[in-house]
Amino acid sequence: MIMDSRYEVQMRLEDWGEQGQQRLAGKEAAVVGVGALGGTVAALLVRAGVGKLRLIDQDRPNLDNLHRQLLYNEPQVKQGVSKVKAAADTLSLANSNCRIQAFEQMLSKENSAQLLKGVDLVIDGLDNPDARKVLNRSCLELVIPWVHAGVAGYQGQLLVVRPGLSPCLECWFPFDQLKAKYGQKGGGGIFGPLPSCLASIQASEALKFLLGEKEACLTDLLLVDLRGPTFKRLPYRSRNGVGCPVCGYKDFRRAG
């Protein structure tokens, strides 16, 4: 198989090569929430050569999105086009080899199995704790690995969740704590460069996983503060040896 020359530079990387590129072309990922985080991750995955991508979001871009959401522009805001359609149109121009499916829906308990079934990995581009609770539990039930990131102000966090092998999001942050930390949609301000910073790391973790380099993936919680800037890795410790009430996870050292 002769690979597209667009991939030549990344194929020079150690442990990538043509075999890795072919592997990536056979993978499918889902991006849930195609805003500042998800839109940037989607762009990086499409340009890297992921074979299939599902975009899931019910919103339309607004003018106040544009300081941080890189896929959208003023004409699309005026036209009222959906984020998933605008994103799919833009991304298809970047790489016509990637099969992109757009779902103008909000992920819910009722539709998560249908929207996520069969994907190799899920990217969290959401912006509120209620939606992340649904995503966490859906991925646990479907046994799908996913890459979480959240941003607020100048700070963000990132986590790779592998059901049965690592702590889930609610191991780290019980729902009430997550709600207190990141609030609801439309809360505080967001430093424009922050989501792109976190999204680039999300894409990096996703690509390593999809290429089969699972042992190279992040096993801690990554905390980012761009006012420093500071980057800190925090290892998981279960609270008082009690397992997570959602996934039952107890000891991070069991992760493989």
Task: Determine how many CB atoms are found less than 10 A away from the CB of residue 73.
Answer: 14
How far from the centroid of its chain's Cα atoms is residue 52's Cα? 15
DSSP 245: T
Give how far Cα 14 sits from Cα of 10, 211, 216, Å: 9, 12, 13
pLDDT attached to residue 157: 96
What is the C-alpha separation between 83 and 66, in angstroms, rounded?
Answer: 12
CB 167 within 8 A of CB 237: no
Phi/psi at 118 (nearest 5 deg)?
90, -5
Low pLDDT (below 70) residues in the chain: 1-3, 177-187, 239-241, 250-256
Q: For the chain, give every domain's residue range.
A: 5-254
CB 122 within 8 A of CB 32: yes
Enumerate the β-bridge partners of residue 150: 157
DSSP 219: -
- The residues near 80 (Cβ < 8 Å, ≥ 6 apart) are 60
DSSP 3: P
For 5-254, CATH gives 3.40.50.720
pTM check: above 0.85: yes
pLDDT attached to residue 252: 42
What is the C-alpha separation between 120 and 31, in angstroms, rounded?
Answer: 11
pLDDT attached to residue 256: 34
